[in-house]
């Protein structure tokens, strides 16, 4: 009998909650879950998410590529090293670019430059093979 009473109270509570949830408009729900404030750290620069302008291949390399391509980590071809790049370039620049964009071996797609455009990746490769 106690179980039946407890179950009735539980079902009644759920029904009241469901009815109340249906009475709330979409705007009411949005207003209930919107942030109540924001955090500002004094002296910190606001991140607007806007690009600072075009980046050079060298800038992209220094920001995203050097970690692997400076030392040849996991067989990455090293910067300005003809012996490392020659076998890759034999297949053509388009193949090298495609591998950089889509990933190959241990290199993920676009390396570690998640915000790089196709042209940015091309510029970084051009910089890495410069003078070869």
Give the pLDDT confidence of 15-28 residue by residue, as tens digits: 776 666 566 677 87
| Structural contact between residues 127 and 58, judged by C-beta atoms closer than 8 angstroms | yes
d(CA 23, CA 115): 43
To the nearest whole number, what is the mean pLDDT of the chain? Answer: 85
Q: Would 79 be classed as within a structural domain?
A: yes
Per-residue pLDDT band at 31 (split at 50, 70, 90): confident
Q: Are 64 and 111 in contact (CB under 8 A)?
A: yes
- Count of domains in the chain? 1
Q: Residue holding tokens 């705007």?
A: 27
**77 occurs within a structural domain:** yes
Q: Flag whether 106 is in a domain.
A: yes
Asked if residue 73 is part of any domain, the answer here is: yes
Per-residue pLDDT tens over the stretch 89-127:
999 999 999 999 999 998 999 999 989 999 999 999 999
Whether 90 is covered by a domain: the verdict is yes
The model's confidence at residue 54, banded by pLDDT at 50, 70 and 90, is: confident
Instruction: Assess if residue 108 is contained within a domain.
Output: yes
CB 51 within 8 A of CB 42: no
- Answering whether pTM is above 0.85, one says no
Determine the average pLDDT of the residues in 27-55. 70
Cβ contacts of 68 within 8 Å, gap of 6 or more: 74, 76, 107, 111
Tell whether 120 is covered by a domain: yes
The partner residues of 104 in beta bridges, in order of sequence, read 107
Q: Range of 112's domain?
A: 57-128
Check whether 9 has a pLDDT greater than 90: no
Evaluate whether residue 93 is within a structural domain.
Answer: yes
Asked whether the beta carbons of 28 and 21 are under 8 A apart, the reply is no
**What CATH number is attached to the domain comprising 112?**
1.10.760.10
């Amino acid at each position: 009998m106690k179980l039946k009473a407890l179950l009735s109270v539980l079902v009644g509570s759920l029904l009241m909650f469901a009815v109340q949830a249906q009475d709330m408009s979409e705007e009411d729900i949005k207003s209930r879950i919107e942030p109540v404030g924001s955090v500002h750290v004094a002296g910190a620069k606001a991140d607007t998410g806007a690009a600072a302008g075009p980046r050079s291949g060298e800038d992209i390399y220094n920001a995203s590529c050097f970690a692997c391509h400076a030392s040849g980590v996991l067989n990455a071809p090293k910067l300005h090293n003809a012996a490392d790049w020659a076998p890759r370039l034999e297949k053509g620049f388009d193949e090298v670019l495609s591998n950089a964009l889509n990933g190959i071996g241990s290199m993920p797609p676009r390396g570690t430059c998640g915000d790089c455009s196709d042209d940015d990746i091309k510029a970084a490769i051009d910089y890495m093979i410069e003078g070869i």
